């Protein structure tokens, strides 16, 4: 799971945060349907994503993380659930015109804006999502918003095989 630190250039993740987030992830209620690709934008998708991120941040904080890590939580959950949880970071927030503020409000605003964008582009086919797995609408919109929000001055890694770290560690894919 922490491979996303190198994939997305996540900086400054403290050891206590990693441990607390891993424990909090294990404590979340998971269902098999959460991991299935979705089509369209389900009713309440932004609220569902916000609840997941807020729950992960709340549990991580309760387990000893020093800060409320909304950006990290959204990236971890997006990596696990690329069809359901939008990424939150400063580039995405700025590109959507969401002001900084006390969390979780900015994340809720970002999630709402992204799912509204998704509704607008769903009629345009799927070619715009790209071909790098997982080709999800949220992943494609995240890349675009990251780019126009200032990420063009940074660098992003493209991962063609998301199972590579799991295989390298010799872990089961199930």
pLDDT at 102: 86
Q: What is the pLDDT of residues 77-134, one digit of tens each?
A: 998 898 899 999 888 999 999 998 888 999 999 999 999 988 877 666 777 777 777 7
d(CA 45, CA 143): 19
The pLDDT, as a whole number, for residue 48 is: 94
pLDDT tier at 74, thresholds 50, 70, 90: very high
**Assigned token pair, 96:** 């959507």
Q: Residues 69, 57: contact at Cβ < 8 Å?
A: yes
- pLDDT at site 86: 94
**Does the pLDDT of residue 136 top 90, yes or no?**
no
Q: At what angle do helices 105-121 and 70-80 cross, to 10 degrees?
A: 40
Q: Where are the domains of the chain?
A: 4-168
Spatial distance between the Cα atoms of 48 and 31, rounded to a whole number of angstroms: 13
Q: Which tops the pLDDT comparison, 102 or 1?
A: 102
**Cα(29)–Cα(103) distance, integer angstroms:** 22
Q: What integer pLDDT is reported at residue 58 of this predicted model?
A: 94
Which two structure tokens, joined as six digits, stand for 115? 């799912």
* Residue 35 DSSP one-character state: G
Mean pLDDT of 138-153: 81
pLDDT value of position 166: 66
pTM for the whole thing? 0.77
Classify residue 155 by burial, with Cβ atoms within 10 Å: 0-12, 13-18, 19+.
exposed
pLDDT of residue 152: 66
């Amino acid at each position: 799971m922490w491979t996303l630190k190198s994939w997305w250039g996540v900086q400054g993740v403290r050891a206590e945060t990693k441990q607390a987030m891993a424990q909090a992830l294990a404590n979340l209620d998971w269902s098999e349907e959460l991991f299935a690709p979705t089509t369209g934008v389900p009713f309440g998708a932004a609220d569902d994503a916000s609840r997941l991120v807020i729950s992960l941040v709340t549990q991580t904080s309760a387990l000893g993380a020093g800060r409320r890590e909304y950006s990290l939580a959204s990236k971890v959950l997006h990596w696990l659930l690329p069809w359901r949880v939008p990424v939150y970071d400063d580039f995405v927030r700025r590109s959507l015109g969401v002001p900084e503020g006390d969390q979780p409000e900015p994340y809720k605003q970002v999630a709402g804006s992204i799912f509204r964008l998704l509704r607008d582009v769903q009629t345009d086919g799927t070619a715009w999502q790209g071909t790098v797995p997982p080709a999800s609408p949220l992943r494609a919109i995240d890349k675009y918003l990251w780019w126009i929000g200032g990420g063009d001055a940074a660098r992003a890694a493209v991962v063609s095989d998301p199972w590579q770290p799991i295989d390298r560690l010799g872990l089961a894919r199930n």
